[in-house]
Structures are given as C-alpha cells and as structure tokens.
Amino acid sequence: MIKHLSESLTYAVFASVTIVSMLMMAFFVAEPAISHGQDATSNDFYIRQTITDENSFKVVADVNMDGSINGVTGGQATGTTQFVVLSNNSAGYTVDIDFQYTTNNEAMVGDESGDESIRDYDGDVGGQPSFNFVASSSAGLFAYTVTSSSSLDTAQSFLSLGSTCNFDSGSGGSSVDDRCWKAPASGGFTVVDAGDAATTGATSTLKFVVNVPNGANPTPLAETYTATATLSLFTK
C-alpha cells in the first residue's frame, strides 16, 4: 500500500513539473509576438491654432489740390493720396470708395455757401470709367482714378486695353496712369480688388481732378470746395 502511494505521488509530481514546463515554453514562444503587438500600438492626434483675419488701412491722407483755379477763365488742378492695405487674408480683399451726399446733389460743395457749381463728372460709360478724362465745355467737373503698386490689385473697372476701360486683366487689361476716370457716387465703387494677402502692405494711389472751362456756367464762387469720401476695406 505504501509503495502504491509513493508511485502515485511520484507520477503526480512528474506530471505537474511537465505541465509547468510546457506552459513556460508556450509563454516564451508567444512572448515576442505579444511584445511586438504592444510596440505597434499608436494613436494620431492634432494640434490646431486658428489665426483670425486682420485687415487695416495704414495710411489715408487728406488731399489738397495742387493749385487754385480761376473761376471765370477756368483751369485744371489735380491731387493725390495713397493708402496702404495690410491684410493676412489669403483669399484677398476689396476696397470701395463712397462719396458723401447729404442735401447736396454734387460731391464737391462750397465750404461757405454750399455752392455746387463744380459738378460730378459726366463722362461715365454705362456706369464705368471713361477712357481719358473728357472735360466739359460748359461746366466745372470733378472726377477720380486709381492705380496700384501691383497692377493686379487695381479693380477691373480701371484697367484698360486700347481705348476701352473696364477690361479684364486676363484678357489684356492693364493699369495705366490717368487712363480711366470715374464720376464720384454714393453707395461705394470698387477701386481695389486683390486676389491674395498683403502681409507687408500693398499701396494704391487715388488721383482726383477738377476742371473748370473758360466761362463756365454756372460760375464757381471764390471759395474753397470740398468733397468727402470714405474708403472701406472688405475681405473675400
């Protein structure tokens, strides 16, 4: 009986050692695969920062015309101002000019009397600028034009080809000084139409002209005439 128990115990110990050994061998065989699977585990994530549009005018100066005009015998004077747009909008921006009219019918009004003898330019072609400034033989006229440091920034209305204004740049239109002249108007008219950002500043020049013919009717009074305009910047 003792011999039988001893042999049974020996077999049990041997079987236990065998099972444990087999389990350890299985672990060592499987462990590299388990470890490799853990190393391959990954998870992507993003870090995002939103930059907002920032747009401004850097310079806008008042304009004093470059000389006086005789009220009876007439004459012509011009004046310019420059403005610089700063914008980080990659889609671009536009700039509109809007002349102020309250009780007045003309943009230029006598400071003292409110006289309106200097009329708004009457040479527009279908609401667009005319090619060259066309003076009147009877009345004083006020008009403006625009050019930009990059001709691609100048609005299409002020681009010309041959003797035609409002000519698309893709079809050959280009910006040339003193070519396309526009009547002042309320409600805003686009003078700059840029297709990209201007992070270092983009310069445009507005030029104004007042022409009074000899013997103008009505005759401008002996005083200073002023027109007030607003420039507005819009992002695309």
- Do the Cβ atoms of 118 and 209 come closer than 8 Å? no
Instruction: Report pLDDT digits (tens) over 191-224.
Output: 999 999 999 999 999 999 999 999 999 999 999 9
Domain assignments of the chain as residue spans, ordered by start:
1-45, 55-235
Q: What is the C-alpha separation between 231 and 14, in angstroms, rounded?
A: 98
Token pair 């310079």 is found at 59
The count of other CB atoms within 10 Å of the CB of residue 197 is 19
The answer to whether residue 6 scores a pLDDT higher than 70 is: no
Residue 40's pLDDT is: 62
Q: What is the C-alpha separation between 133 and 97, in angstroms, rounded?
A: 19
* CB-neighbour burial class of residue 143 (10 A; exposed 0-12, middle 13-18, buried 19+): buried
Q: What is the C-alpha separation between 167 and 175, in angstroms, rounded?
A: 10
Judged by DSSP in three states, 192 sits in strand
Mean pLDDT in residue range 39-60: 77
Judged by DSSP in three states, 222 sits in coil
The count of other CB atoms within 10 Å of the CB of residue 119 is 19
Instruction: Report pLDDT digits (tens) over 149-187.
Output: 998 999 999 999 999 999 998 888 999 999 999 999 999
Mean pLDDT in residue range 92-114: 94
Percent of the chain surpassing pLDDT 70: 83
- Chain Cα centroid distance, residue 146: 16
Tokens of 59: 């310079």
The answer to whether residue 135 scores a pLDDT higher than 90 is: yes
